[in-house]
Structure 1
Amino acid sequence: MKLTILQTGEVPETLRGRFGPYPGMFERMFDQTGRSFAYEVVKVSEGEPLPDAGALEGVVLTGSSAGVYDDFPWMEPLREFIRDAYAKKTPMLGICFGHQIMADALGGDVRKSEKGWGLGRHSYAVKATPEFMRAAPTLLSVACSHQDQVITPPEEAEVILASEFTPNAGLVYRNGAALSFQPHPEFDDDYMLALAELRRGRAPDEVVERAIASATTPSDSREVAGYIARFLKER
């Protein structure tokens, strides 16, 4: 299966040399699931043209420093692409900003949360177990780094992951081919910690310290990656 990774943002410049770009993180994540994927990257945020959604085998929308309320020239075409992919039932995954722009494009409400920064490893209750997540435990712990949140999901979406901080952290859509998560299963711990350190001065010190301490919580990112891979393969 070929995944078209729509890159909507860059790893912060000070971390780029050490960690590489976001598409590489997704490629490593999917390769570790043991399922067979091929990849192509479209740098949407750099103005590369979007492909025909109906001609793709699968789509991944990455994270970004952008918010859905920003007025970048690539954002409205991306919303149109998402709606087209949804109508054509092209398998589609959104992570962080990808999760938010999918919800925004399909009728949800996304805003900068009054709760502030979510950093480090957060734990999310599993609210529903569709077939691809049938073996999931009741709680999944995954890295996150965000201020924006899906406040109200689209009517087409069902919440599958939730926490007190992020009530709409995972969504599966009723067309049977769209899935999104606020947290980042593609982040390894070193990058999660480097991002938390980078937020010093922007996020409160106690939030940063809590994020660093959260690395002692065992990660379920590989399990979540496995659920995602199964979802995409079985569409």
Structure 2
Amino acid sequence: MTSLVIIKTGDAFPEVVDQYGDFEQLFINQLSTALPTHLSLKVWDARKQGVPPSPTSFAGIMLTGSHSMVSEQEPWSEALKPWLEQALAENVPMLGVCYGHQLMASAFGGISDYHPAGRESGTRNVRLTQAGHQDPLFSKLPTHFSAHLTHAQSVMQLPPNATVLAHNNHDAHQALRYGPRQWSVQFHPEFTRPVMHAYIERQKAALRDQGENPDALIDAITDTQAASSLLRHFLRFT
């Protein structure tokens, strides 16, 4: 049996972990119902365990979100970059989420940093680009779909040869492809409505400070089946 490895890059808020599970568990919850019999799930905490074994020892790679910032260049995070470059060069299937999205873009020659418009939180509309419509993974999604988001940093400059697959009014780089089977997304396909609600509750003061209405954001939380389906569709490439 081969493994799909979930690279853990951070922890969710304690109240989220207590009620719904940590970041890696949210991925496992979404994937477990669609996992083929030949595939198992493995979690690797890059902050505690260091660089994983050779990328080719895995059938696929997913990278979680984190409350860390890619631009702070923490040693464990920087150590992952050559490993991610190797995975890309060897065409190992990859899907990075939020921090994982920003880290992959940074590893491949882009720039991830604080977004000048501030934090994006809540359930937002995301739109496919023309390239997204033609992409083997993203073509399964509708042109417009809802996605859960919480991030202060974004991919501010694309890596060479990256293709933009989705965008929205806040972020021009909501989804990227770097190679035949290597993607990343700024939004959180693993989040559920209760998890998104818990994040906005925690961020209420910060959101008010930047002129947002947290109660309106909570009222606007919806299901995001299309975005969540990406995780399961990705299994086809492993």
Is the structural similarity TM-score above 0.5? yes
Q: CA deviation at 1:200?
A: 2.0
Question: Is residue 101 of structure 1 aligned with residue 94 of structure 2?
Answer: no
Q: Which residue does 2:88 correspond to in 1?
A: 86
CA distance in 2, matches of 1:18, 1:135: 31
Q: CA deviation at 1:75?
A: 1.3
Q: CA deviation at 1:80?
A: 1.1
CA distance in 2, matches of 1:52, 1:135: 30
1:157 to 150, 158, 162: 162
Would you say the 8 A contact 1:162–1:169 is kept in 2?
yes
Q: CA deviation at 1:4?
A: 0.3
Would you say the 8 A contact 1:92–1:232 is kept in 2?
no
Question: Is residue 234 of structure 1 aligned with residue 215 of structure 2?
Answer: no
CA distance in 2, matches of 1:50, 1:34: 22
Aligned pairs (5 A) from 1:65-144? 65-127=67-129, 128-129=132-133, 130-144=135-149
Question: Is residue 146 of structure 1 aligned with residue 147 of structure 2?
Answer: no
Q: Which residue does 1:23 correspond to in 2?
A: 24
Q: CA deviation at 1:38?
A: 1.6
Distance change (3 Å), C-alpha of 1:90 and 1:200: same
Specify every segment of 5 or more residues in structure 2 that has no aligned partner in the other structure, as ranges. Answer: none
Q: CA deviation at 1:32?
A: 3.9
Q: Which residue does 2:219 correspond to in 1?
A: 213
Would you say the 8 A contact 1:91–1:232 is kept in 2?
no
CA distance in 2, matches of 1:106, 1:154: 6
CA distance in 1, matches of 2:113, 2:147: 21
Question: Is residue 184 of structure 1 aligned with residue 188 of structure 2?
Answer: yes
Distance change (3 Å), C-alpha of 1:223 and 1:35: farther
Taking only the aligned residue pairs, the percentage that are identical comes to: 26
State the one-letter code of the partner of 1:119.
S
CA distance in 2, matches of 1:230, 1:15: 26
Q: CA deviation at 1:93?
A: 0.6
Q: Cα deviation per residue 1:193-234 (whole Å; 9 max; x = unaligned)?
A: 00101012222263423321221x4x33x3233334333423
Would you say the 8 A contact 2:189–2:229 is kept in 1?
no
SS in 1 for 2:71: coil
Q: Cα deviation per residue 1:94-142 (whole Å; 9 max; x = unaligned)?
A: 0000000000000111111111111110111111221233342210101
Q: CA deviation at 1:34?
A: 6.2
1:196 to 195, 200, 212: 200
Q: Cα deviation per residue 1:174-204 (whole Å; 9 max; x = unaligned)?
A: x202011101010110010001010122222
Distance change (3 Å), C-alpha of 1:133 and 1:40: same
Higher helix residue share: 2
Specify every segment of 5 or more residues in structure 1 that has no aligned partner in the other structure, as ranges. Answer: none
CA distance in 1, matches of 2:35, 2:93: 19
SS in 2 for 1:184: coil
1:224 to 212, 227, 233: 227
Distance change (3 Å), C-alpha of 1:228 and 1:18: closer
Q: Which deviates the most, 68-77 or 96-105?
A: 68-77
